[in-house]
Structure 1
Amino acid sequence: MPALQQAGHAVRQMSRRGAGPGGVRADLATGRDLAAAVRGVDLVVHAASDPRGDPWQVDVAGTRRLVQALDRARLQHLVYVSIVGVDRVPWGYYRAKFSAEQVLLASGLPVTIVRITQFHHFVDELLSTARRGPVLPVPMSWQAAPVDVGEAAGFLAEVAGRPPSADVVEFGGPEVLAAADLARAWAAAREPGARVVATPLPGRLSAAFRGGGVLPGPRAARGRRTYAEHLRGA
Structure 2
Amino acid sequence: MKNVIMVTGATGVLGREVLERALRTGLPVRALTRRTEPPATPGVSWFTGDLTDGTGLAEAFAGVRTVIHCASDTRRYRNDVPAFQHLLDAAKRAGVAHIVNISIIGVDRIPFPYYRIKLQGERLLAESGIGWTTLRAAQFPALLDAALRVLSKSPVVPMPSGTDCQPVDQTEVAGRLVELALGEPAGRVPDMAGPTVYSATRLARDWTRAAGKRRLVLPVFVPGRIGAGFRSGALTAPGRAVGVRTWEEYLADEVAGSVRNPHRRA
- Do the two structures share a fold, i.e. TM-score over 0.5? yes
Point out where structure 1 has 5 or more consecutive residues left out of the alignment: none
1:35 aligns to 2:58 (yes or no):
yes
Aligned to 2:122: 101
Q: 2:85 aligns with which of 64, 69, 75?
A: 64
**Offset at residue 56 of structure 1 (A):** 3.2
Q: Secondary structure at the match of 2:81?
A: helix
**Offset at residue 132 of structure 1 (A):** 5.6
Aligned to 1:225: 245
Mapped contact 2:105–2:137 kept (Cα < 8 A):
yes
Q: 1:124 aligns with which of 139, 145, 153?
A: 145
Q: 2:35 aligns with which of 17, 36, 60?
A: 17
**Offset at residue 168 of structure 1 (A):** 4.1
CA distance 1:121–1:154, shift in 2 (3 Å): same
Distance, in Å, in 1 between the alignment partners of 2:213 and 2:118 is: 36
1:48-197 → structure 2 map (5 Å cutoff): 48-53=71-76, 55-57=77-79, 59-71=80-92, 74-131=95-152, 133-197=154-218
Distance, in Å, in 2 between the alignment partners of 1:137 and 1:189 is: 18
Q: What CA deviation, in whole Å up to 9, does each residue of 1:118-164 have, x standing for no partner?
A: 11011112222223644323221111111111111111111111211
Distance, in Å, in 1 between the alignment partners of 2:154 and 2:82 is: 41
**Offset at residue 12 of structure 1 (A):** 0.5
TM-score by length of 2: 0.81
Q: Percent identity?
A: 37
Distance, in Å, in 2 between the alignment partners of 1:13 and 1:142 is: 36
Aligned to 1:8: 26
Q: Report how many residues are paired.
A: 231
Q: Secondary structure at the match of 2:192?
A: strand
Mapped contact 1:131–1:137 kept (Cα < 8 A):
no
Distance, in Å, in 2 between the alignment partners of 1:165 and 1:47 is: 18
Distance, in Å, in 1 between the alignment partners of 2:125 and 2:229 is: 25
Runs of 4+ in 1 over 6 A off after TM superposition: none
TM-score by length of 1: 0.91
Mapped contact 2:167–2:247 kept (Cα < 8 A):
yes
Mapped contact 2:194–2:245 kept (Cα < 8 A):
yes
Question: RMSD in angstroms over aligned alpha carbons?
Answer: 1.9
Distance, in Å, in 2 between the alignment partners of 1:123 and 1:87 is: 21
Point out where structure 2 has 5 or more consecutive residues left out of the alignment: 1-18, 255-266
